[in-house]
Amino acid sequence: MPRMGGSAVSVRLEFVKLAAAEGVNLRELCRRFRISAPTGYKWLKRFDQDGIKGLEDGSHRPHSQPRRSSAELEQRVVKLRQLHPAWGGRKLRVLLAREGQPPPPSASTVTAILRRQQLLDPPSGGYPTAWRRFEYAAPNELWQMDVKGDIALGEGRCYPLTVLDDYSRFSLGLQACRDQREPTVRERLTAMFRRYGLPRRMLADNGAPFGTAGIEAFSTLEVWLMRVGVKLYHGRPRHPQTQGKDERFHRTLNVELLRGREFTSLLQAQSEFDRWREVYNFQRPHQALAMQVPADRYRPSPRSFPEVLPAIEYAPDLTVCAVNRDAAISFQRRRFKIGKAFIGLPVAVRPTTTDGAHQVFFCTTLIRTIDLRSRLDHV
């Protein structure tokens, strides 16, 4: 089972940032990061004293910034732009403010420096006007996930798996995957759940491995998510704007990391993904967040990942049926197709107020309705 990637300093930085969120259980967070509580307190103390330098191995001397002249400011803007060539004046101005510029220059001043140094990109013709997006009110209410279009490697291809918190835009995972099959995605999601806890719901498209079509309306990945306590929703077919925040994340990823880049291997791609993800979560100001960074709004979920899947139990007044190897159940001497993802698992049947109509549940999710009166509903 892979662990979440990143350098030692980036992992420690993520830990202390998440530990600072309101209501976080510090000992539970230490367990998720696989460190002892004394180690966690040690990193918090070092960060409080010396900032990010305190998270490095070796010397922990405090970092200071002298007052800069206008020429030095201009040089600093140029260097920041070289580090973040897709960032404009507003984002770079936030970075300068964090460095203690006395006082920080205005965004228009930074933009003027970029224009003077011929570092501004020409107008692109503009993207379509953004449509109004719904936003959940708290972290972990919804995670959006997708497999971005594959990219060529020196050895095979890479399928980037992206998972984004809807409220904070915090990148919970940017994983370089060999393929987009269910076992691979499930393995990577397990690592994210262990670190950040469980969301209440997730949103994905209808393609494999997230969804399927027809009577096979549920994928094996979706059934597994039901068992761990996560409801999976699907966007409307051919409407990528349903997952607009993750689509926007992909566009940023393209502009700031992937465009013009080539990776020789999955290992190199993952290393670059980890480096960029740290910048995105902890350094890059986000306009939709009033120029905060995603880590400012994110906190881990209090719902821990169950290492052992809970037993499937139903109320005693429901009729429990096992899904056979033909993906069907027998109910009142009739057979009804349920779906291959449920083979070998128990489902529950409950009557409705409509004569002959029954609802079929898996765990707490309604998976289909069957009609005893209709011959077309039988198999």
Task: Kindly report, residue by residue over 1-28, the tens digit of the pLDDT.
Answer: 456 767 888 899 999 999 998 889 999 9
**Same domain (yes/no): 35, 100:** no
Q: What pLDDT is stored for residue 241 in this prediction?
A: 54
Structural domain includes residue 124:
no
- The string of pLDDT tens digits covering residues 30-56 is 999 999 999 999 999 999 998 888 898
Q: Is residue 241 part of a domain?
A: yes
Letter string b/e over residues 166-180, b meaning 16 or more CB atoms within 10 A of that residue's CB = bbbbbbbbbbbbeeb
CA distance 294 to 165: 9
Whether residue 109 is contained in a domain is answered as: yes
Judging by beta carbons within 10 Å of its beta carbon (0-12, 13-18, 19+), is residue 295 exposed, middle or buried?
A: buried
Pairwise CA distance, residues 76 & 92, whole Å: 10
The domain that contains 275 carries what CATH number?
3.30.420.10
φ and ψ of 12, to 5 deg: -65, -40
Residues 196, 249: one domain? yes
- Does 209 lie in the same domain as 233? yes
Residues 184 and 274 reside in one and the same domain: yes
As a whole number, the mean pLDDT across the chain is: 84
pLDDT for res 80: 75
Query: pTM for this one?
Result: 0.76
Which of 361 and 130 is assigned the larger pLDDT?
Answer: 361
User: Using CA atoms, how far apart are residues 245 and 36, in angstroms rounded to an integer?
Assistant: 35
- Specify whether 262 is located in the same domain as 150: yes
Q: Per-residue pLDDT for 66 more than 70?
A: no
Mark whether 224 and 97 lie in a shared domain: no
Domain residue limits at 275:
143-297
Q: Does the residue 292 lie in any domain? A: yes
Quick check: is 275 in a domain? yes
Q: Is 186 a member of any domain?
A: yes
Query: How far is it, in rounded angstroms, from Cα 156 to Cα 71?
Result: 47
Q: Are residues 169 and 198 in the same domain?
A: yes
Residue 110 has a pLDDT of 75
Query: In this structure, are 108 and 147 located in the same domain?
Result: no
* Total domain count, the chain: 4
Q: pLDDT per residue over 136-178, tens digit each?
A: 789 999 999 999 888 999 889 999 999 999 999 999 999 999 9
Cis upstream peptide for 310 (omega within 30°): no
323 and 204, same domain (yes or no): no
233 in the same domain as 159 = yes
SS3 assignment for the chain: CCCCCCCHHHHHHHHHHHHCCCCCCHHHHHHHCCCCHHHHHHHHHHHHHHHHHHHCCCCCCCCCCCCCCHHHHHHHHHHHHHHCCCCCHHHHHHHHHHCCCCCCCCHHHHHHHHHHCCCCCCCCCCCCCCCCCCCCCCCCCCEEEEECCCEEECCCEEEEEEEEECCCCCEEEEEEECCCCHHHHHHHHHHHHHHHCCCCEEEECCCCCCCCCCCCCCCHHHHHHHHHCCEEEECCCCCHHHHHHHHHHHHHHHHHHHCCCCECCHHHHHHHHHHHHHHHHHCCCEHHHCCECHHHHCCCCCCCCCCCCCCCCCCCCCEEEECCCCCEEEECCEEEECCHHHCCCEEEEEECCCCCEEEEEECCEEEEEEECCCHHHCC
Q: Which residue has the higher pLDDT, 238 or 258?
A: 258
Instruction: Please state, in angstroms and rounded to a whole number, the distance separating the CA atoms of residues 336 and 333.
Output: 10
Is 145:127 a contact under the CB 8 Å cutoff?
Answer: no
Residues 147, 109: one domain?
no
> Does some domain include residue 360?
yes
Q: How confident is the model at residue 81 (pLDDT cuts 50, 70, 90)?
A: confident
Both 100 and 28 in one domain: the answer is: no
Residue 357 lies in a domain: yes
